[in-house]
Amino acid sequence: MSKKPIKNKVSSKRNVSKKIVKPLKKSVKKVSVKAGKKIVQEPIVMQPPRGMRDILPNEQEYWNRVRMVLDKEYPKYGFGRIDIPVLEYSNLFIRSIGKGTDLIDKEIYTFVTKGKDKVALRPEITAGVARAFIQHGMNVLPKPVKLFSIGPVYRYDRPQEGRYREHFQANFDIFGEEDSVLDAQLIQLAYRILGALGLKNVQFQVNSIGCPDCRKEYIDMLVSYFESKKKKLCKTCKARLKTNPLRILDCKEDKCVQVSANAPQTVDHLCNGCRDHFKSLLEYLDELELPYAINPQLVRGLDYYTRTVFEIWSTDEEGKKKSLGGGGRYDKLIESLGGEPTPAIGFALGIDRLVLEMKRIKAKSYENPKPRIFIAQLGNLAKKKSLKLFSDLERDGILIAESFGRGSLKSQLRTANRLGVEMTIIIGQKEALDETVIMKNMITGTQETVPQEKVLNAMKKILKSKPMIIKKKKINNI
């Protein structure tokens, strides 16, 4: 994406719809003189920062479908919604996610405020939710406490399709229960959501990375294995040997993948408690008949995880895998942030990726209800009457389209036709004076004049009857 500044010039609507508007190339530096001083203003770049984008109305159908499904599913599983700031003190994230992770070392957006506070745009949602859980004393609530949140997340990563510096997550966290029945229920919820979105061809990858007790021994073993193969590792993984050896298992570089294939596996080195926990999770998943693959290389990129970790993958036509969501247990996080020991588990879905996947497989989107009536008007008095009529109809829950601009009657009727409405109410200069309206049936082309005070009831009657099937070809009488 080039970052060339362009002139701040608004194109006409007509241009926008008919042509692809090319950014103008020249930047304009604005120079002004104030109190004898020359002030040079930087040109405005007519695009958001790299890796961020607008989600335009024509894409919202997919986003709406995702939001609708989420809104329907989270209460069914006992979640309450929580909204938290996108900005938190930086050390909350550093302590939760951990130094040595890509998220903290490379991707977090941090800055110092005018009040000298060190803050960060959230690179994920769970740390903030955990902070809110402790701050608001939610540990006294009946357990488990289930919290759902949705919103933007910021990661300074190299942008590409499906990877943005601002992306959106739907985040589910459950506090206060250690039993793996909740791990299974959360995976079931993820299945339910993806199924409702039409995304059935996905793979659930699960693993257990143990608790701090068994993991310490495992990591020692892993480090000595990778030390013996150090020459074969990529540069980043050589560094990871010191900072975050677990992450080497997750490296996508061919040579590291080959070395990792023979590395000791977490599941073979779990303590009894962690092994039983993982075993019972798999039993629950089998009971629920939810397919999964055990992936011993799956470690996740955040330090707070313990025991269960999982990811949901989609595969495109070229065999490329993308993670649509992921999560796991973080039984020690609340305590490490200063709260009472509270086991927890959660996961997040990447909404941008869900939408991409829905488009790729041509899954159903949610179309906003279409207006069935159009109001066309001509002249100032007619416009006034139309505005009132619009408000009356809208108050009665009737969806109406209008074009209160200055267009001719002909062009307004063309718009009505394009929108595929069933009826058009026309108020011209004569009708405005007579206090009448013309009701035009857009399918048959018939029209009748009715008094203004009767139009509301007349419309309600017509709309109560079955929606008419509009065949565009047949509308040739405009």
Q: Count the neighbouring beta carbons within 10 Å of the beta carbon of residue 158.
A: 10
| Secondary structure tally for the chain: helices H, strands E | 16, 18
298 vs 425 by CB, closer to ligand HAM: 298
- Residue 422 found at the interface with ligand HAM (CB under 6 A): no
Contact region for ligand HAM (CB under 6 A) — 79-87, 167-175, 185-193, 405-413?
Answer: 167-175
164 vs 374 by CB, closer to ligand HAM: 164
**In the complex, residue closest to ligand HAM by CB:** 350
5 vs 346 by CB, closer to ligand HAM: 346
Binding-site member from 350, 371, 403, 431 for ligand HAM (CB under 6 A): 350
Q: Count the neighbouring beta carbons within 10 Å of the beta carbon of residue 41.
A: 10
Binding-site member from 90, 149, 169, 180 for ligand HAM (CB under 6 A): 169
Subset of 283-312 contacting ligand HAM (CB under 6 A): 301
Binding-site member from 173, 177, 183, 357 for ligand HAM (CB under 6 A): 173
The per-residue b/e assignment along 447-461, b for 16 or more CB within 10 angstroms, e otherwise, is: eeebebeebeebbee
169 vs 452 by CB, closer to ligand HAM: 169
The helix/strand/coil state of 375 is: strand
Beta strand spans in 128-165 (E): 145-154
5 vs 162 by CB, closer to ligand HAM: 162
- Residue 82 found at the interface with ligand HAM (CB under 6 A): no
Binding-site member from 65, 215, 277, 353 for ligand HAM (CB under 6 A): 353
Contact region for ligand HAM (CB under 6 A) — 175-183, 326-334, 389-397, 414-422?
Answer: 326-334
Binding-site member from 346, 375, 402, 412 for ligand HAM (CB under 6 A): 346
- Residue 88 found at the interface with ligand HAM (CB under 6 A): no
Number of residues in contact with ligand HAM under rule CB under 6 A: 25
- Residue 278 found at the interface with ligand HAM (CB under 6 A): no
- Least separation in angstroms between CB 252 and ligand HAM: 14
Distance CA 402, CA 151 (A): 33
Looking up tokens 């008007």, which residue turns up? 377
- Residue 177 found at the interface with ligand HAM (CB under 6 A): no
Per the CB < 8 A criterion, the answer to whether 312 and 326 are in contact is yes
Distance CA 303, CA 247 (A): 10
Subset of 136-155 contacting ligand HAM (CB under 6 A): 155
- Residue 436 found at the interface with ligand HAM (CB under 6 A): no
Distance CA 136, CA 122 (A): 19
Distance CA 388, CA 455 (A): 12
Distance CA 281, CA 6 (A): 55
- Residue 208 found at the interface with ligand HAM (CB under 6 A): no
Distance CA 168, CA 151 (A): 5
Subset of 98-137 contacting ligand HAM (CB under 6 A): 124-126
- Least separation in angstroms between CB 52 and ligand HAM: 11
345 vs 459 by CB, closer to ligand HAM: 345
What does the DSSP 8-state code read for residue 29? Answer: -
Q: Which residues pair with 402 in a beta bridge?
A: 375
The two tokens of residue 339 are: 């709260």
Instruction: Report helix, strand and coil shares of the chain as percent, to nearest 5.
Output: 40, 20, 35
Contact region for ligand HAM (CB under 6 A) — 165-173, 209-217, 276-284, 418-426?
Answer: 165-173
167 vs 372 by CB, closer to ligand HAM: 167
- Least separation in angstroms between CB 227 and ligand HAM: 28
What does the DSSP 8-state code read for residue 205? Answer: E
- Who's near 309: CB < 8 A, 6+ residues apart? 206, 207, 208, 209, 298, 299, 300, 326, 327, 328, 329
- Least separation in angstroms between CB 312 and ligand HAM: 7
- Least separation in angstroms between CB 275 and ligand HAM: 22
Binding-site member from 4, 53, 163, 255 for ligand HAM (CB under 6 A): 163
Binding-site member from 164, 175, 284, 374 for ligand HAM (CB under 6 A): 164
- Least separation in angstroms between CB 137 and ligand HAM: 21
- Least separation in angstroms between CB 167 and ligand HAM: 3
Query: What are the residue ranges of helices labelled H in 88-179?
Result: 90-97, 102, 126-135
In what order do the strands lie in the sheet containing 109-112? 87-89, 118-121, 109-112
- Who's near 417: CB < 8 A, 6+ residues apart? 442, 472, 475, 478
Give the interface with ligand HAM as residue ranges (CB under 6 A).
124-126, 155, 157, 162-164, 167, 169, 171, 173, 301, 323-328, 346-348, 350, 352-353
